[in-house]
Structure 1
Amino acid sequence: MQRLKILMVDDHPIIIEGYMNVLMATKTDDQELDIDTANNCDMAEIMINRASDNEHYDLCFFDISLPPSQDGKYTSGEDLAKLAQTKLPNAKIVILTMFNESFRIHNIIREINPDGFLIKSDLTSMELADAFQHILKSPPYYSSTVHNYIKRTITNEIYVDDINRKILHLLSQGIKTKSLLDHIQLSMSAIEKRKKQLKLLFDVDDGKDETLLEMAKEKGFI
Protein backbone atom coordinates (compact mmCIF):
# COMPACT_ATOMS: atom_id res chain seq x y z
CA MET A 1 0.00 0.00 0.00
CA GLN A 2 1.31 3.45 -1.00
CA ARG A 3 0.48 5.89 1.80
CA LEU A 4 0.62 9.49 0.57
CA LYS A 5 0.71 12.45 2.91
CA ILE A 6 -0.71 15.58 1.22
CA LEU A 7 -1.01 19.26 2.16
CA MET A 8 -3.64 21.39 0.40
CA VAL A 9 -3.59 25.17 0.88
CA ASP A 10 -6.44 27.31 -0.45
CA ASP A 11 -8.48 30.06 1.20
CA HIS A 12 -11.76 28.66 -0.13
CA PRO A 13 -12.81 25.57 1.86
CA ILE A 14 -15.28 24.46 -0.80
CA ILE A 15 -12.46 24.31 -3.37
CA ILE A 16 -10.31 22.21 -1.04
CA GLU A 17 -13.29 19.92 -0.44
CA GLY A 18 -13.70 19.52 -4.20
CA TYR A 19 -10.02 18.65 -4.69
CA MET A 20 -10.14 16.14 -1.85
CA ASN A 21 -13.27 14.47 -3.18
CA VAL A 22 -11.74 14.09 -6.65
CA LEU A 23 -8.49 12.61 -5.35
CA MET A 24 -10.20 10.25 -2.93
CA ALA A 25 -12.59 9.06 -5.67
CA THR A 26 -9.90 8.52 -8.31
CA LYS A 27 -6.93 7.20 -6.31
CA THR A 28 -5.67 3.78 -7.31
CA ASP A 29 -6.52 0.73 -5.24
CA ASP A 30 -3.03 0.60 -3.74
CA GLN A 31 -3.01 4.26 -2.65
CA GLU A 32 -3.99 5.58 0.76
CA LEU A 33 -4.33 9.37 1.02
CA ASP A 34 -3.83 11.35 4.24
CA ILE A 35 -4.76 14.97 3.47
CA ASP A 36 -4.09 18.02 5.67
CA THR A 37 -5.59 21.40 4.79
CA ALA A 38 -4.82 25.05 5.49
CA ASN A 39 -6.74 28.21 4.57
CA ASN A 40 -4.05 30.88 5.04
CA CYS A 41 -0.31 31.45 5.17
CA ASP A 42 -0.04 31.20 8.96
CA MET A 43 -1.74 27.80 9.11
CA ALA A 44 0.32 26.53 6.19
CA GLU A 45 3.61 27.72 7.71
CA ILE A 46 2.85 25.86 10.95
CA MET A 47 2.04 22.66 9.07
CA ILE A 48 5.15 22.85 6.86
CA ASN A 49 7.44 23.48 9.84
CA ARG A 50 5.79 20.70 11.84
CA ALA A 51 6.17 18.29 8.92
CA SER A 52 9.85 19.14 8.56
CA ASP A 53 10.38 18.20 12.22
CA ASN A 54 8.18 15.17 12.66
CA GLU A 55 7.03 13.70 9.37
CA HIS A 56 6.86 14.67 5.71
CA TYR A 57 4.54 15.56 2.86
CA ASP A 58 4.68 13.75 -0.45
CA LEU A 59 2.75 16.50 -2.26
CA CYS A 60 1.91 20.09 -1.40
CA PHE A 61 -0.81 21.96 -3.30
CA PHE A 62 -0.64 25.76 -3.08
CA ASP A 63 -3.13 28.33 -4.30
CA ILE A 64 -1.25 31.53 -5.19
CA SER A 65 -3.74 34.07 -3.83
CA LEU A 66 -3.87 33.67 -0.03
CA PRO A 67 -4.33 35.91 3.02
CA PRO A 68 -0.81 36.96 4.11
CA SER A 69 0.74 35.81 7.36
CA GLN A 70 0.30 38.06 10.39
CA ASP A 71 3.98 39.04 10.34
CA GLY A 72 3.93 39.78 6.60
CA LYS A 73 6.70 37.26 5.95
CA TYR A 74 4.54 35.13 3.67
CA THR A 75 2.19 36.90 1.27
CA SER A 76 1.23 34.24 -1.26
CA GLY A 77 1.34 30.61 -2.23
CA GLU A 78 4.63 31.36 -3.99
CA ASP A 79 6.24 32.20 -0.66
CA LEU A 80 4.86 29.03 0.91
CA ALA A 81 6.06 26.93 -2.02
CA LYS A 82 9.59 28.24 -1.51
CA LEU A 83 9.37 27.48 2.22
CA ALA A 84 8.21 23.94 1.43
CA GLN A 85 11.04 23.45 -1.04
CA THR A 86 13.50 24.39 1.71
CA LYS A 87 11.89 22.52 4.60
CA LEU A 88 10.53 19.53 2.65
CA PRO A 89 12.99 18.94 -0.19
CA ASN A 90 11.44 15.61 -1.16
CA ALA A 91 7.89 16.94 -1.45
CA LYS A 92 6.41 17.54 -4.89
CA ILE A 93 5.12 21.10 -5.24
CA VAL A 94 1.89 21.79 -7.14
CA ILE A 95 0.67 25.31 -7.92
CA LEU A 96 -3.02 25.99 -8.58
CA THR A 97 -4.15 29.48 -9.49
CA MET A 98 -6.79 31.56 -11.24
CA PHE A 99 -4.07 33.83 -12.64
CA ASN A 100 -3.46 33.04 -16.30
CA GLU A 101 -1.39 36.01 -17.55
CA SER A 102 1.70 34.88 -19.38
CA PHE A 103 4.23 36.84 -17.33
CA ARG A 104 2.69 35.54 -14.09
CA ILE A 105 3.04 32.00 -15.37
CA HIS A 106 6.66 32.52 -16.38
CA ASN A 107 7.46 34.17 -13.08
CA ILE A 108 6.13 31.19 -11.12
CA ILE A 109 8.02 28.72 -13.28
CA ARG A 110 11.25 30.68 -12.92
CA GLU A 111 10.88 31.25 -9.17
CA ILE A 112 9.51 27.85 -8.15
CA ASN A 113 9.79 25.44 -11.08
CA PRO A 114 6.88 23.43 -9.64
CA ASP A 115 6.26 19.74 -10.21
CA GLY A 116 2.71 20.63 -11.19
CA PHE A 117 1.20 23.89 -12.44
CA LEU A 118 -2.57 23.98 -12.92
CA ILE A 119 -4.76 26.91 -13.95
CA LYS A 120 -8.09 26.51 -12.18
CA SER A 121 -10.14 27.46 -15.24
CA ASP A 122 -8.52 24.53 -17.09
CA LEU A 123 -9.41 21.99 -14.46
CA THR A 124 -11.94 19.26 -14.72
CA SER A 125 -12.20 16.42 -12.26
CA MET A 126 -10.57 14.13 -14.81
CA GLU A 127 -7.65 16.49 -15.44
CA LEU A 128 -6.99 16.93 -11.72
CA ALA A 129 -7.01 13.15 -11.29
CA ASP A 130 -4.68 12.66 -14.27
CA ALA A 131 -2.38 15.46 -13.09
CA PHE A 132 -2.14 13.92 -9.61
CA GLN A 133 -1.01 10.54 -10.88
CA HIS A 134 1.32 12.10 -13.47
CA ILE A 135 3.01 14.31 -10.87
CA LEU A 136 3.57 11.32 -8.61
CA LYS A 137 5.23 9.27 -11.34
CA SER A 138 6.74 11.65 -13.87
CA PRO A 139 6.64 15.38 -13.09
CA PRO A 140 6.22 18.07 -14.21
CA TYR A 141 2.59 18.35 -15.30
CA TYR A 142 1.37 21.66 -16.76
CA SER A 143 -2.25 22.34 -17.68
CA SER A 144 -3.12 23.52 -21.18
CA THR A 145 -3.11 27.26 -20.47
CA VAL A 146 0.40 27.03 -19.00
CA HIS A 147 1.65 25.16 -22.06
CA ASN A 148 0.06 27.62 -24.45
CA TYR A 149 1.42 30.71 -22.75
CA ILE A 150 4.90 29.25 -22.54
CA LYS A 151 4.87 28.60 -26.27
CA ARG A 152 3.58 32.05 -27.17
CA THR A 153 5.57 34.22 -24.79
CA ILE A 154 8.82 32.37 -24.18
CA THR A 155 10.84 35.40 -25.29
CA ASN A 156 8.65 37.99 -23.56
CA GLU A 157 9.24 37.26 -19.89
CA ILE A 158 8.55 39.66 -17.06
CA TYR A 159 10.35 38.77 -13.85
CA VAL A 160 9.57 40.19 -10.42
CA ASP A 161 11.93 38.99 -7.69
CA ASP A 162 11.25 38.52 -3.97
CA ILE A 163 12.31 42.02 -2.95
CA ASN A 164 10.17 43.70 -5.61
CA ARG A 165 7.18 41.60 -4.58
CA LYS A 166 7.74 42.62 -0.96
CA ILE A 167 7.89 46.30 -1.98
CA LEU A 168 4.59 45.92 -3.82
CA HIS A 169 3.00 44.13 -0.86
CA LEU A 170 4.15 46.74 1.67
CA LEU A 171 2.99 49.63 -0.51
CA SER A 172 -0.38 47.92 -0.90
CA GLN A 173 -0.64 47.80 2.90
CA GLY A 174 -0.39 51.60 3.02
CA ILE A 175 3.26 51.78 4.06
CA LYS A 176 4.95 54.91 2.69
CA THR A 177 8.14 54.71 0.65
CA LYS A 178 10.22 56.38 3.39
CA SER A 179 9.07 53.69 5.84
CA LEU A 180 10.10 50.80 3.59
CA LEU A 181 13.58 51.12 5.12
CA ASP A 182 12.12 49.61 8.31
CA HIS A 183 11.12 46.46 6.43
CA ILE A 184 13.67 46.01 3.65
CA GLN A 185 17.44 45.97 4.04
CA LEU A 186 18.20 48.32 1.16
CA SER A 187 19.17 51.98 0.89
CA MET A 188 16.50 54.51 -0.03
CA SER A 189 18.14 55.05 -3.41
CA ALA A 190 18.04 51.30 -4.10
CA ILE A 191 14.36 51.17 -3.12
CA GLU A 192 13.54 54.14 -5.36
CA LYS A 193 15.43 52.49 -8.23
CA ARG A 194 13.41 49.32 -7.81
CA LYS A 195 10.16 51.29 -7.75
CA LYS A 196 11.14 52.98 -11.01
CA GLN A 197 11.95 49.61 -12.56
CA LEU A 198 8.57 48.25 -11.44
CA LYS A 199 6.78 51.22 -13.00
CA LEU A 200 8.60 50.60 -16.27
CA LEU A 201 7.82 46.90 -16.05
CA PHE A 202 4.09 47.51 -15.56
CA ASP A 203 3.87 50.39 -18.06
CA VAL A 204 2.94 53.00 -15.45
CA ASP A 205 2.87 56.21 -17.48
CA ASP A 206 1.82 58.69 -14.78
CA GLY A 207 4.53 57.66 -12.29
CA LYS A 208 2.07 57.27 -9.42
CA ASP A 209 2.40 54.56 -6.79
CA GLU A 210 -1.38 54.13 -6.86
CA THR A 211 -1.29 53.29 -10.56
CA LEU A 212 1.59 50.86 -10.00
CA LEU A 213 -0.44 49.06 -7.34
CA GLU A 214 -3.50 48.94 -9.59
CA MET A 215 -1.48 47.41 -12.42
CA ALA A 216 0.32 44.95 -10.13
CA LYS A 217 -3.00 43.86 -8.62
CA GLU A 218 -4.57 43.46 -12.06
CA LYS A 219 -1.69 41.22 -13.11
CA GLY A 220 -1.88 39.09 -9.96
CA PHE A 221 1.25 40.25 -8.10
CA ILE A 222 -0.69 41.57 -5.10
Structure 2
Amino acid sequence: MTQKIRILMIDDHPIIIEGYQNTLLLTKKDSQELDIKIANNCDEAVSFMDRSVKNDLPFDILFVDISLPPSSDGTMTSGEDLAVYARKVLPNAKIIILTMFNESYRIHNIIRNIDPEGFLIKSDLTSSELASAFQAVLNNPPFYSGTVNSHIRKAITSDIFIDEKNRKILHLLSQGIRTKNLASHLDISLSAVEKRKKQLKVLFAIEDGQDESLLKEARKKGFV
Protein backbone atom coordinates (compact mmCIF):
# COMPACT_ATOMS: atom_id res chain seq x y z
CA MET A 1 0.00 0.00 0.00
CA THR A 2 1.39 3.42 -0.97
CA GLN A 3 2.04 5.94 1.79
CA LYS A 4 1.64 9.51 0.53
CA ILE A 5 3.84 11.92 2.47
CA ARG A 6 3.24 15.66 2.15
CA ILE A 7 6.43 17.64 2.70
CA LEU A 8 7.14 21.36 2.94
CA MET A 9 10.79 22.39 2.55
CA ILE A 10 11.67 25.91 3.70
CA ASP A 11 15.09 27.33 2.83
CA ASP A 12 16.17 30.50 1.04
CA HIS A 13 18.94 28.73 -0.92
CA PRO A 14 17.42 26.95 -3.97
CA ILE A 15 20.51 24.77 -4.49
CA ILE A 16 20.28 23.43 -0.93
CA ILE A 17 16.58 22.63 -1.36
CA GLU A 18 17.39 20.85 -4.61
CA GLY A 19 19.93 18.70 -2.78
CA TYR A 20 17.45 17.80 -0.02
CA GLN A 21 14.76 17.02 -2.57
CA ASN A 22 16.99 14.78 -4.73
CA THR A 23 18.27 12.92 -1.67
CA LEU A 24 14.76 12.14 -0.40
CA LEU A 25 13.47 11.10 -3.83
CA LEU A 26 16.48 8.80 -4.39
CA THR A 27 16.38 7.18 -0.95
CA LYS A 28 12.64 6.91 -0.25
CA LYS A 29 11.08 3.48 0.16
CA ASP A 30 9.19 2.00 -2.78
CA SER A 31 5.97 2.22 -0.78
CA GLN A 32 6.42 5.96 -0.19
CA GLU A 33 5.10 8.66 -2.50
CA LEU A 34 6.50 12.12 -1.76
CA ASP A 35 4.58 15.29 -2.52
CA ILE A 36 7.15 18.07 -1.97
CA LYS A 37 6.34 21.78 -1.84
CA ILE A 38 9.07 24.42 -1.63
CA ALA A 39 9.06 27.80 0.14
CA ASN A 40 12.00 30.21 -0.09
CA ASN A 41 10.91 32.61 2.66
CA CYS A 42 8.59 33.07 5.65
CA ASP A 43 5.69 34.52 3.61
CA GLU A 44 5.64 31.62 1.14
CA ALA A 45 5.89 29.11 4.00
CA VAL A 46 2.94 30.61 5.90
CA SER A 47 0.90 30.72 2.70
CA PHE A 48 1.61 27.00 2.01
CA MET A 49 0.76 26.03 5.59
CA ASP A 50 -2.50 27.99 5.67
CA ARG A 51 -3.56 26.60 2.29
CA SER A 52 -2.79 23.02 3.35
CA VAL A 53 -5.03 23.42 6.41
CA LYS A 54 -7.80 25.12 4.40
CA ASN A 55 -7.75 22.33 1.77
CA ASP A 56 -7.68 19.67 4.47
CA LEU A 57 -4.39 18.32 3.05
CA PRO A 58 -2.06 19.11 5.95
CA PHE A 59 1.70 18.62 5.63
CA ASP A 60 3.18 15.56 7.33
CA ILE A 61 6.76 16.83 7.56
CA LEU A 62 8.34 20.28 7.48
CA PHE A 63 12.03 20.90 6.86
CA VAL A 64 12.74 24.33 8.36
CA ASP A 65 15.94 26.34 7.97
CA ILE A 66 16.48 28.67 10.93
CA SER A 67 18.18 31.51 9.01
CA LEU A 68 15.46 33.02 6.82
CA PRO A 69 14.69 36.60 5.79
CA PRO A 70 11.87 38.06 7.93
CA SER A 71 8.25 38.04 6.76
CA SER A 72 7.00 41.16 4.96
CA ASP A 73 4.89 42.21 7.97
CA GLY A 74 7.84 41.66 10.33
CA THR A 75 5.98 39.24 12.62
CA MET A 76 8.31 36.36 11.76
CA THR A 77 12.04 36.92 11.85
CA SER A 78 13.40 33.39 11.43
CA GLY A 79 12.63 29.74 10.86
CA GLU A 80 12.22 29.43 14.62
CA ASP A 81 9.14 31.70 14.49
CA LEU A 82 7.84 29.68 11.52
CA ALA A 83 8.24 26.41 13.41
CA VAL A 84 6.34 27.85 16.40
CA TYR A 85 3.55 28.88 13.99
CA ALA A 86 3.58 25.42 12.40
CA ARG A 87 3.08 23.83 15.83
CA LYS A 88 -0.17 25.82 16.16
CA VAL A 89 -1.68 25.34 12.69
CA LEU A 90 -0.27 21.87 11.90
CA PRO A 91 -0.23 20.12 15.29
CA ASN A 92 0.35 16.67 13.77
CA ALA A 93 3.18 17.67 11.44
CA LYS A 94 6.69 16.56 12.27
CA ILE A 95 9.30 19.32 12.19
CA ILE A 96 12.91 18.86 11.13
CA ILE A 97 15.11 21.85 11.95
CA LEU A 98 18.20 22.50 9.81
CA THR A 99 20.68 25.16 10.83
CA MET A 100 24.27 26.36 10.60
CA PHE A 101 24.12 27.48 14.26
CA ASN A 102 25.96 25.12 16.55
CA GLU A 103 26.19 27.14 19.76
CA SER A 104 24.81 25.46 22.86
CA TYR A 105 22.55 28.42 23.70
CA ARG A 106 20.79 28.37 20.30
CA ILE A 107 20.44 24.58 20.31
CA HIS A 108 19.00 24.59 23.83
CA ASN A 109 16.54 27.37 22.91
CA ILE A 110 15.29 25.60 19.77
CA ILE A 111 14.72 22.36 21.69
CA ARG A 112 12.90 24.25 24.46
CA ASN A 113 10.71 26.37 22.15
CA ILE A 114 9.98 23.90 19.36
CA ASP A 115 10.92 20.40 20.58
CA PRO A 116 11.54 19.32 16.96
CA GLU A 117 11.23 15.70 15.83
CA GLY A 118 14.45 16.17 13.86
CA PHE A 119 17.37 18.54 14.49
CA LEU A 120 20.27 18.65 12.03
CA ILE A 121 23.31 20.92 11.99
CA LYS A 122 24.12 21.65 8.35
CA SER A 123 27.87 21.21 8.85
CA ASP A 124 27.19 17.61 10.06
CA LEU A 125 24.89 16.85 7.18
CA THR A 126 25.51 14.18 4.55
CA SER A 127 22.92 12.83 2.13
CA SER A 128 22.86 9.51 4.01
CA GLU A 129 22.25 11.32 7.33
CA LEU A 130 19.41 13.32 5.76
CA ALA A 131 17.86 10.11 4.43
CA SER A 132 18.22 8.41 7.84
CA ALA A 133 16.75 11.44 9.62
CA PHE A 134 13.74 11.48 7.29
CA GLN A 135 12.88 7.81 7.86
CA ALA A 136 13.57 8.03 11.60
CA VAL A 137 11.37 11.11 12.03
CA LEU A 138 8.56 9.38 10.12
CA ASN A 139 8.73 6.18 12.15
CA ASN A 140 10.57 6.70 15.41
CA PRO A 141 11.35 10.34 16.27
CA PRO A 142 13.36 12.18 17.43
CA PHE A 143 16.51 12.20 15.29
CA TYR A 144 19.29 14.59 16.36
CA SER A 145 22.60 14.97 14.56
CA GLY A 146 25.94 14.39 16.28
CA THR A 147 26.62 18.01 17.28
CA VAL A 148 23.14 18.40 18.81
CA ASN A 149 23.49 15.16 20.78
CA SER A 150 26.89 16.15 22.08
CA HIS A 151 25.59 19.53 23.34
CA ILE A 152 22.63 17.82 25.04
CA ARG A 153 24.88 15.18 26.62
CA LYS A 154 27.32 17.79 27.96
CA ALA A 155 24.53 19.86 29.50
CA ILE A 156 22.89 16.78 31.06
CA THR A 157 26.10 15.32 32.50
CA SER A 158 27.11 18.66 34.00
CA ASP A 159 25.85 18.97 37.57
CA ILE A 160 25.59 22.74 37.20
CA PHE A 161 22.09 24.14 36.82
CA ILE A 162 21.91 27.41 34.92
CA ASP A 163 18.68 29.32 34.34
CA GLU A 164 17.69 30.98 31.06
CA LYS A 165 18.97 34.47 32.00
CA ASN A 166 22.38 33.11 32.98
CA ARG A 167 22.57 31.08 29.77
CA LYS A 168 21.84 34.26 27.86
CA ILE A 169 24.56 36.16 29.75
CA LEU A 170 27.09 33.47 28.78
CA HIS A 171 25.87 33.53 25.18
CA LEU A 172 26.09 37.32 24.91
CA LEU A 173 29.55 37.40 26.51
CA SER A 174 30.69 34.78 23.99
CA GLN A 175 29.41 37.07 21.22
CA GLY A 176 31.72 39.82 22.49
CA ILE A 177 29.02 41.95 24.18
CA ARG A 178 30.57 44.00 27.00
CA THR A 179 29.21 43.72 30.55
CA LYS A 180 27.97 47.34 30.62
CA ASN A 181 25.83 46.59 27.54
CA LEU A 182 24.37 43.30 28.82
CA ALA A 183 21.61 44.96 30.86
CA SER A 184 19.89 46.38 27.77
CA HIS A 185 19.79 42.90 26.17
CA LEU A 186 18.32 41.26 29.27
CA ASP A 187 15.81 43.76 30.71
CA ILE A 188 17.57 43.74 34.08
CA SER A 189 19.74 46.33 35.82
CA LEU A 190 23.52 46.46 35.49
CA SER A 191 23.90 45.57 39.18
CA ALA A 192 21.71 42.47 38.62
CA VAL A 193 23.95 41.51 35.68
CA GLU A 194 27.08 41.94 37.85
CA LYS A 195 25.50 39.81 40.58
CA ARG A 196 24.64 37.04 38.13
CA LYS A 197 28.15 37.13 36.64
CA LYS A 198 29.60 36.74 40.16
CA GLN A 199 27.31 33.74 40.79
CA LEU A 200 28.40 32.18 37.48
CA LYS A 201 32.07 32.59 38.39
CA VAL A 202 31.42 30.87 41.74
CA LEU A 203 29.45 28.07 40.03
CA PHE A 204 32.24 27.43 37.52
CA ALA A 205 34.95 27.89 40.19
CA ILE A 206 36.68 30.75 38.34
CA GLU A 207 39.49 31.96 40.57
CA ASP A 208 41.02 34.72 38.44
CA GLY A 209 37.65 36.48 37.95
CA GLN A 210 38.21 36.83 34.19
CA ASP A 211 35.32 36.62 31.69
CA GLU A 212 37.60 34.62 29.33
CA SER A 213 38.13 31.97 32.03
CA LEU A 214 34.37 31.83 32.67
CA LEU A 215 33.64 31.33 28.96
CA LYS A 216 36.35 28.67 28.67
CA GLU A 217 34.81 26.63 31.53
CA ALA A 218 31.26 27.19 30.23
CA ARG A 219 32.34 25.90 26.80
CA LYS A 220 33.94 22.81 28.35
CA LYS A 221 30.69 21.98 30.11
CA GLY A 222 28.53 22.62 27.03
CA PHE A 223 26.79 25.85 28.09
CA VAL A 224 28.22 28.02 25.28
**What interval of TM-score do these two structures reach, taking the shorter chain for normalisation?**
0.7 to 0.9
TM-score normalised by structure 2 residue count = 0.73
Partner letter of residue 13 of structure 2? Answer: H
Which stretches in structure 1 are left out of the alignment for 5+ residues? Answer: 161-196, 213-222
Q: For residues 200 and 88 of structure 1, do their structure 2 counterparts lie closer, same or farther at Cα, with a shift above 3 Å needed?
A: same
Report the equivalent of 1:117. 119
Aligned with 1:96: secondary structure? strand
CA displacement at 1:103 relative to structure 2: 1.1
Confirm or deny that 1:74 pairs with 2:76: yes
Q: Percent identity?
A: 57
Report the equivalent of 1:48. 49
Q: For residues 157 and 30 of structure 1, do their structure 2 counterparts lie closer, same or farther at Cα, with a shift above 3 Å needed?
A: farther
Report the equivalent of 1:205. 178
Question: Deviations for 1:128-151, whole angstroms, at most 9, x for unmatched residues?
Answer: 101100000010000010000111
Of 111, 130, 133, which residue of structure 2 is paired with 1:131?
133
Report the equivalent of 1:140. 142
CA displacement at 1:52 relative to structure 2: 1.5
Q: Is the 8 A contact 1:158 1:201 kept in 2?
A: no
Partner letter of residue 29 of structure 1? Answer: D
Q: For residues 25 and 135 of structure 1, do their structure 2 counterparts lie closer, same or farther at Cα, with a shift above 3 Å needed?
A: same
Report the equivalent of 1:15. 16
Q: For residues 102 and 199 of structure 1, do their structure 2 counterparts lie closer, same or farther at Cα, with a shift above 3 Å needed?
A: closer
Question: Deviations for 1:131-189, whole angstroms, at most 9, x for unmatched residues?
Answer: 100000010000010000111124566748xxxxxxxxxxxxxxxxxxxxxxxxxxxxx
Supply the RMSD in Å over aligned alpha carbons: 2.1
Q: For residues 35 and 3 of structure 1, do their structure 2 counterparts lie closer, same or farther at Cα, with a shift above 3 Å needed?
A: same
Between Structure 1 and Structure 2, whose CA radius of gyration is higher? 2
Separation of aligned partners in 2, 1:66 and 1:18: 18
Separation of aligned partners in 1, 2:124 and 2:68: 20
Which residues of 2 match residues 88-127 of structure 1 at below 5 A?
Answer: 88-127=90-129
Separation of aligned partners in 2, 1:8 and 1:201: 29
Separation of aligned partners in 2, 1:48 and 1:22: 23
TM-score normalised by structure 1 residue count = 0.73
Partner letter of residue 202 of structure 1? Answer: L
Runs of 4+ in 1 over 2 A off after TM superposition: 153-160, 197-201, 203-209
